[in-house]
Amino acid sequence: MLSWWKRTPQQGPRIQQLWGAHNNRLTSCRGTRLDESAYGEEGLEYDRQWMIVDAATHRFLTARTIPRMLLIHPSINRNTDSLDITVPSSSSTSTPSTFSVPLAHPATYLSDPKGDESLDHDYTVFGCEPQDGYSVGSPELIAALSEFMGRDVLLIRKGLTRRSVKEVPGVVHSEGLDPVLGFADFYAFQISSATSLNELTTRIPSLSTDPSFNQTRWSPSALSTQGGLEIARFRPNIVIEGLKEAWEEDGWKKVRFAEGEEVEVGMKCGRCQVPSYDPATGVRDKLLPDAVMKDRVVQPLSAPKVCFGVLASPLKKQGGRLKVGDAVTVLEAYPKSANGVWVRNEDRVN
């Protein structure tokens, strides 16, 4: 039996930030902050619909193993209906170059989408079944990406085959939900809390005596001028402000944005090493954020990974629209346990 509770809907906190590309238009690259965005069953519009793969193996490439990917900057250009991709030069004396690929899906402009030579069916992403996709981008763009990444790569636009969310023991979706996603890890949306992020920042001074502590970035004076941990490290799509408690989002089951945009939360988000990289420089911090998150191994499924944020799917198959400032209402949630954490059903079976 599912053990979440229901409460009378009340106007809750609000969407503080939308990042349509923090889990990126182009997977593992730099994000773009938005004021509003349409969304569909795979997430925010155009979100994680492209990825870079090894040209020989067709296996996805990620900032987990190639952190300099964080410095590649994709952005939507509505004036030209294109995805503009700025690729840094591999030489410190050269300037970055910007290239464009159409926002339109290849299936809408190719004369024979199912038979075009740009289509392949063996692209592998995050351990899932092989995915179909179209090789896109000019030879100049592919050459620039390959040079910057130090290997031959391809840029792939997701094909039309639906990619279902992987089954996770203990995770039970609403009847008929059948969640799908683009080139993300697990779910269409990643949701984070500004309150929880602020809680992590308050823990940073406790590390000041560690030999690996970066005083230049994390000393009290640096925190006051540069701010705390950047939300960009955690690459969310939706950031919520105004929650009364840190980690309240751990227990969410169903959430409504504005008047009728509802999502179902599937699980907490186990983190890899990517949040330890400065999103502006790609340089890794030896301590943060993991050293202030040792109590955040709250989902046995992800052990020994720490958790920050939650993963969710939209309930409306036809999609809708989200805006910064939209009210947030928690419709269903798990209860808080006696030891102060929110325990989900999947936590009990893993």
pLDDT, tens only, 190-245: 999 999 999 999 999 999 999 999 999 999 999 999 999 999 999 999 999 999 99
Would you say residue 85 lies in a domain? yes
Q: Which is more confident, 92 or 84?
A: 84
pLDDT at 4: 34
Residue 213 counted as domain residue: yes
- Residue 38 domain flag: no
Say if residue 129 is in the same domain as residue 188: no
pTM of structure: 0.91
Judge if 237 and 263 occupy the same domain.
Answer: yes
**Cα 108 from Cα 325, distance rounded (Å):** 34
Task: Please indicate, yes or no, whether residues 195 and 217 belong to a single structural domain of this protein.
Answer: yes
pLDDT for 168 = 78
Q: Which structural domain, as residue segments, surrounds residue 339?
A: 5-19+168-349
The answer to whether residue 34 sits within a structural domain is no
Q: Is residue 227 part of a domain?
A: yes
pLDDT category of residue 27 using cuts at 50, 70 and 90: low
Strand partners, 34: 18
Distance of CA 175 to the CA centre of its chain: 25
The pLDDT value given to residue 29: 80
List, in order, residues 6 or more apart from 334 with CB less than 8 Å away: 3, 4, 5, 251, 252, 253, 342, 343, 344, 345
For residues 134 and 197, membership in a common domain is answered with no
Same domain (yes/no): 179, 247: yes
Task: Determine the average pLDDT of the residues in 280-291.
Answer: 93
**126, 221: one domain:** no
Same domain, 175 and 316: yes
Q: Is the pLDDT of residue 103 over 80?
A: yes
Single residue among 158, 185, 220 that ends a domain in this structure: 158
Rounded CA-CA distance 302/98 in Å is 38
Q: Which of 51, 129, 127, 137 is nearest to 99 (CA)?
A: 137
37 contacts 53 by C-beta, under 8 angstroms: no
Same domain, 92 and 209: no
d(CA 331, CA 196): 20
- The residue-averaged pLDDT of 26-46 equals 87
* Domain count across the chain: 2
Residues 182 and 98 reside in one and the same domain: no
- From 106, 139, 158, the end of a domain falls on 158
Whether residue 298 is predicted with pLDDT greater than 80 in this model: the reply is: no
- My answer on whether 123 and 208 are in the same domain is no
Q: How far apart are CA 22 and CA 237, in angstroms?
A: 6
Q: Report if residue 192 sits inside a domain.
A: yes
CA–CA gap between residue 56 and residue 252 (Å, rounded): 42
Confidence band, pLDDT 50/70/90 cuts, at residue 301? low
Please tell me whether residues 297 and 149 are part of one structural domain.
no
Task: Give the mean pLDDT of the chain.
Answer: 89
Examine the pLDDT at 24 and tell me if it is beyond 70.
no
C-alpha to C-alpha distance for 143 and 146, rounded to whole angstroms: 5
Residues in the chain: 350
Q: Distance between CA 202 and CA 87 in Å, rounded?
A: 35
Is residue 29 domain-resident? Answer: no
Same domain, 204 and 308: yes
The vertex-342 CA angle with 168 and 192, nearest 5°, equals: 75
CB 165 within 8 A of CB 286: no
Q: 98, 128, 158 — which closes off a domain? A: 158
Q: Is residue 26 in some structural domain? A: no
Mean pLDDT of 121-141: 92
